[in-house]
């Protein structure tokens, strides 16, 4: 596989609106070529027998049943509030909006 060229890096830099020096173009060309090579090696290892996964271990989301249980009444919840209005906590206005 041919390596990524300095001109290709310059083109990508123009698309990203980056101004790169000649040394940076050479440096990034080498690095991008190494990255592309590493991705190619990983692609060679992946086989048709291996399904794509997002995590190496199987995960199961543990959910409990949504059950209605006794809880505080609005009066009990607001009993310690310094200020309340319409069964809600009242806090100082901070954004200057009505």
Q: Is the pTM of this model over 0.75?
A: no
> Taking the domain 6-45, which CATH number applies?
1.10.20.60
Mean pLDDT over the full length of the chain = 87
- Tens-digit pLDDT profile for residues 25-83: 999 999 999 998 888 888 777 677 777 778 888 888 889 899 999 999 999 999 999 99
Q: State the Cα–Cα distance between residues 18 and 24, nearest whole angstrom.
A: 11
Domain ranges of the chain: 6-45
What does the pLDDT read at residue 46? Answer: 64
- Report DSSP state, residue 55: S
- Tens-digit pLDDT profile for residues 15-33: 999 999 999 999 999 999 9
Q: State the Cα–Cα distance between residues 96 and 98, nearest whole angstrom.
A: 7
Give the phi and the psi of residue 51 in degrees, each rounded to 5.
Answer: -75, 150
């Amino acid at each position: 596989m041919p390596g990524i060229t300095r001109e290709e890096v310059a083109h990508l830099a123009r698309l990203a609106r980056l101004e790169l020096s000649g040394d940076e173009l050479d440096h990034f060309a080498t690095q991008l070529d190494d990255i592309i090579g590493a991705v190619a090696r990983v692609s060679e290892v992946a086989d048709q027998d291996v399904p794509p996964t997002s995590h190496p271990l199987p995960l199961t989301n543990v959910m409990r049943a949504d059950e209605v249980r006794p809880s505080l009444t609005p009066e009990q919840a607001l009993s310690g509030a310094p200020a309340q209005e319409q069964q809600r906590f009242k806090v100082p206005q901070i954004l200057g909006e009505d």
